[in-house]
Amino acid sequence: MKRLQLWVGVIISIVFLWWALREFKWPEVWQALRTARYYWIIPGVLIYMFGVWARTWRWHYMLRPFKSVRLTRLFPVVCIGYMGNNIFPFRAGEVLRSWVLKQTEDIPISGSLATVLVERVFDGLVMLLFVFIALPFATNIPDVYRTWVIGFSLMFGVALIVIMLIAARPDLTRRFYDGIASRVIPPRFRAPVGELIDKFVFGLASLRSGRDVLMIFATSVVIWLAETMKYWFIMHAFDFETSFFILMLMNGVVNLFTSIPSSPGYVGTFDAPGIEILTVAGGINRQIATAYTLVLHVALWLPITLLGLYFFYREQLQWSDIKRASQAVAQSDA
């Protein structure tokens, strides 16, 4: 099954790469790459790292029901997670960072994975917010794109409602599980699975307070505004200019598309929608948009991956730990 999922992701990446490069003209793209002012990447990376630090603070805030972990201790774990997502399939970095946290801070994997799920939902909601804010400034966007936005909105809205209901009524969730388990789960598995569910629900404790929900949402906005600022800085390396709102739209759309299964590093699923938004909504020359998007993708992927690898080896981790992390999730993290 894992091998099939991997090949499905590779095929999806190939399809999106074909979409991205179907009108590719190497001489024009090379000219844009050759004359780019790459020093603009430096402030872009710095503001992006500020966003990673904000993401670390958000995770620290959500993990408080388990344990207060110092930000300086948590930041390397977040970077390791980014690295894992960037070079391994199936978003293995999310599992890896939860496993590292279990080894170093004794926080249950199921609980920390619950906070990761909340992160993904809030990230998706902020991406949709960016898209809604920016759409009025993109008059050339086809109606089909607006339909996709509505579809994604419904999906993340339903997910948030379900998660908040589970967080608000843990007793009801447990009773629901007990009723289902008594019918479909063999007796010897009911107690271990029930314990995992309890830890998972406890990991959603940060959603039981309106103040906490507001703090998580506000931090999510800061995180993605910082990433959009990186888009803006790197734009200055190329000979085009578009509004910050179009870059917000691009950021929102590409990150929604990267939720689609693909090869590691979001190959294709990042590039194709990014080029399309710049070309259609921003009116940018397609070859310049292609050069910009490729450089942006590398600038987003490479620094955090190298930093994550540094922390990975500093923590004396091994590549076999990726498999151990997956096995811990599949079995039990107790």
What are the per-10-residue average pLDDT scores of the chain (334 residues)?
78 94 94 97 97 96 90 96 89 89 89 87 86 81 72 74 78 80 78 75 74 90 97 97 94 89 90 94 94 97 97 89 74 54
CB-CB contact of 20 with 268 (8 Å): yes
CB-CB contact of 308 with 168 (8 Å): no
Domain span at residue 8?
Answer: 2-330
Amino acid residing at 219: T
Supply the DSSP string of 51-64, one letter for each residue. HHHHHHHHHHHHTT
pTM score, whole prediction: 0.86
What is the structure's pLDDT at 178? Answer: 79
What is the structure's pLDDT at 334? Answer: 46
**Which has the closest alpha carbon to 285: 110, 28, 4?**
28
Cα dihedral 56/38/301/214 (nearest 10):
30
Between CA 332 and CA 334 the distance in angstroms is 6
What are the residues whose beta carbons fall under 8 Å from the beta carbon of 54, sequence distance 6 or more?
A: 219, 222, 223, 226
What is the structure's pLDDT at 3? Answer: 75
CB-CB contact of 80 with 322 (8 Å): no
What is the structure's pLDDT at 276? Answer: 92
Amino acid residing at 330: A
Q: What is the DSSP letter of 261?
A: -
What is the structure's pLDDT at 298? Answer: 97
Question: What's the structural domain count of the chain?
Answer: 1
Q: What are phi and psi of 184, to 5 degrees?
A: -120, -15
What is the structure's pLDDT at 332? Answer: 52
- Take residue 226 and report the two structure tokens written for it: 């910082």
Q: Taking the mean position of all CA atoms in its chain, how far away is CA 40? A: 24
Strand positions, DSSP E, the chain: none
